Copies of this chain bind each other. A is one copy, B any other.
Amino acid sequence: MVTTGANSDEEAAVSVANRSFYDAFEAEDFDTLSSLWEHSDRVQCVHPHWSTLRGWAEVGASWKAMIEGPARLQFVLTNEHVEVQGDIAWVTVDENIIGEGPSATVAALNIFARGDDNKWRMIAHHGSAIMMPVPRNQL
Binding site for B on A (CB under 8 A): 1, 41-42, 44, 46, 48-52, 54-55, 79, 81, 83, 85-88, 90, 92, 94, 105, 107, 109, 111, 113, 124, 126-131
In the complex, what residue of chain B is closest to A93 when comparing beta carbons?
B52
Rounded to whole Å, the gap between the CB of A91 and the closest CB of chain B is: 10
Residues of chain B with a CB closer than 8 A to A131's CB:
49-50
Closest 10 CB pairs of A and B: A128-B128, A49-B131, A86-B86, A1-B41, A88-B88, A109-B126, A126-B126, A46-B107, A1-B42, A52-B92
- Copies of this chain, count: 2
* B contact residues around A48 at 8 Å (CB): 128
